[in-house]
Amino acid sequence: MDKRTFLKNSVLLTLGGAVATALPGSLASAMANASAAGETFTLPDLDYAYDALEPHIDAKTMEIHHSKHHAGYTRKFNDALASSGLTETSIEDLFNKVSQLPVAIRNNGGGFYNHKVFWKNLSPKGGGMAGGDVGKAIDKSFGSFDKFRDLFSEAAATRFGSGWAWLVKTGNGLAITSTPNQDNPLMDVADQHGYPLLAIDVWEHAYYLKYQNRRADYISAFWNVVNWDYVNERFNKAAM
């Protein structure tokens, strides 16, 4: 081995050791033992046609949002995981330590997961008031459905720039929160932690073709397509 090769290998070994010691043991171990195959996340199909939510959410927005934006997050999330050498069995495990991971995992992993919840939160047969267990929990936590809807709409309307508003299940009941960019309440960087039940995307690409800068009109239309059956499903499976 010549001197140049020896020095190069020594530097690489030193950097590798620094990365391992900078991460918690579980993450360092995951990076060291990650298989080349890893877990691949795939773009989910919608349960309805792109035009099924008309006139509340237009077909062209749905098509671009799903086939371009969500597809892009999915592809970049997989690329970020592969380039980082990380293999995780649960996306929640990644979010729980996302502050210690590359920002591409935070941004694109959030974009992948948040949209998966969002699409299922919507239905052409949706709307109306929440029923079932989540309806009872909403009344208990917020006093009434109308009060909850007003608070959730306010959280969505006042989220500065791009982001999301959420209804989450916590150990103390339900809570409303919002997050910037593609963050979500499962991430260790979130102000309010909880299990996401209901999400609304307030990035401009979610509504601009139809509503332009009228975010409030989009939020109002959103209530006509909320899939309360799915929100109840998530409520009942959440372990808090």
Q: Is residue 8 in a domain? A: no
Q: Is residue 116 in a domain? A: yes
Q: Is residue 43 in a domain? A: no
Q: Is residue 7 in a domain? A: no
Q: State how far the Cα of 164 lies from the Cα of 168, in Å rounded to an integer.
A: 12
Q: State how far the Cα of 179 lies from the Cα of 191, in Å rounded to an integer.
A: 8
pLDDT of residue 87: 61
pLDDT of residue 90: 77
Q: Is residue 40 in a domain? A: no
Q: Is residue 9 in a domain? A: no
Q: State the average pLDDT for the chain.
A: 86
**Domain encompassing residue 163:** 55-240
pLDDT of residue 43: 98
Q: State how far the Cα of 106 lies from the Cα of 5, in Å rounded to an integer.
A: 36
Q: Is residue 35 in a domain? A: no
Q: Is residue 204 in a domain? A: yes
Read off the tokens for 160: 């500065």
Number of domains in the chain: 1
Q: Is the entire prediction scored with pTM above 0.75?
A: yes
CATH at 81: 3.55.40.20
Residues 135-164: tens digit of each pLDDT: 999 999 999 999 999 999 999 999 999 999
Query: Look-up: residue for tokens 């989450």?
Result: 168
Whether the pLDDT of residue 3 is over 80: the answer is no
Residues 164-189: tens digit of each pLDDT: 999 999 999 999 999 999 999 999 99
Q: Please give the average per-residue pLDDT across 20-30, as a whole number.
A: 34
Amino acid letter at 1?
M
Q: Please give the average per-residue pLDDT across 36-45, as a whole number.
A: 74
CB 93 within 8 A of CB 188: no
